[in-house]
Structure 1
Amino acid sequence: MSDGAEIRPMTEADWRQVWPFFRDIVAAGETYAYPTDLSSEQARELWTMSPPGQTVVLVEGDRVLGSATMGPNRPGRGAHVGTGSFMVSPEARGRGVGRRLGEYVVSWHREHGFAAIQFNAVVETNAAAVRLWQSLGFQVIGTVPEAFESRAHGRVGLHVMHLAL
């Protein structure tokens, strides 16, 4: 990833590049519990956050390398705790895209006055993600046993991860 890479709000035109890796990541069956038969439009509606949330892309030139969503984890009395979701294009893995997006999401939540960030469902066998979030200060505060049907591992736990801001 070059120094010219930037994170910016996702546009409708960006979805054409996000959709292929969104579709492939969901189909792989290792990280997201989304239905595997989503149309592009259904997936875009799930992925695109409305205010007060936001969806961003990390771009290098005209290539989308990854995307993240962020905003309140719950409405009303739970809106002071944020959440986020992340997807990185397979071609960009191992280049720091996830870390850059994670740092952005943490900073965005701080700037918007959130008290904490909670990830509701980090698949315990997704070791790279668990390591990344822990390196950014998140802690596993609980694991729901056998809550995710991993294609490769069968039923595995979902970590709830938390970062106080």
Structure 2
Amino acid sequence: MIREMTRLDFESFWPCFKSVIQAQETYAFEPNMVLEEAYRLWCELPLKTFVFVEGEQILGSYYIKPNGMGPSDHICNCGYMVDSKARGKGIARQLCEHSQRIAMELGFEAMQFNSVVSTNDVAVALWKKLGFNIIGTIPLAYRHGKLGYVDCYIMHKSLNVTIGE
């Protein structure tokens, strides 16, 4: 089940969030961020934040927000996290498909990911399967925790097509 995230949900999700940012493999977030900063970034600044819940466990989350302001506010941006224990179960796909439906309901015409770490092969492949295209490469844009400097991709999808194509 995917539903809007509450403060208590985020507190339950915090160990996953902290683990992801401390690994420094996928997110350009301060690795020593504390819970309050993370909550503000993930839940208060975006338009909406959702969780993927199975039973009592929160296995993933995403946020949605405009990618730009004014004349660029028709394109949205999302961020996704899935608990390491739940990866490979299709949760990221479900979250991305859900986010596209929500984006269209909110009136967005396209979705753009501004900084997909190029070595995150699973995410890059999934986003491509879901119709996103790499529209740019930012050379050496990310200091990977294990690999050093790696490229990042800008990925984009128009939302006037059927989700999942």
With normalisation by structure 2, the TM-score equals 0.93
Shift of 1:50: 4.8
In the alignment, what sits opposite 1:14?
A: 9
Shift of 1:99: 0.5
Q: Show CA shifts across 1:10-54 (max 9, x none).
A: 011101221101000001010011111111111111111457x11
Question: Are residues 1:45 and 2:43 paired?
Answer: no
Among 49, 69, 74, the alignment partner of 1:75 is: 69
Identical positions, percent: 42
Across the aligned residues of Structure 1 and Structure 2, the Cα RMSD in angstroms comes to 1.1
In the alignment, what sits opposite 2:150?
A: 156
Shift of 1:61: 1.4
2:157 counterpart SS class: strand
Question: Given residue 83 of structure 2, which amino acid in structure 1 is its aligned partner?
Answer: S
Shift of 1:108: 1.0
Alpha-carbon spacing, 1:70–1:60, altered in 2? closer, same or farther (3 Å): same
- List aligned pairs for 1:25-64, cutoff 5 A: 25-50=20-45, 53-64=47-58
Q: Show CA shifts across 1:46-99 (max 9, x none).
A: 111457x11000001111000000121112111100110000011111111101
In the alignment, what sits opposite 2:108?
A: 114
Aligned residue pairs, count: 159
- List aligned pairs for 1:121-136, cutoff 5 A: 121-136=115-130
Which runs of at least 4 in structure 1 moved beyond 6 Å after TM superposition? none
Q: Any gaps of 5 or more consecutive residues in structure 1?
A: 1-5
- Give the Cα separation in 2 of the matches to 1:49 and 1:83: 15
Question: Given residue 127 of structure 1, which amino acid in structure 2 is its aligned partner?
Answer: D
Q: Any gaps of 5 or more consecutive residues in structure 2?
A: 160-165
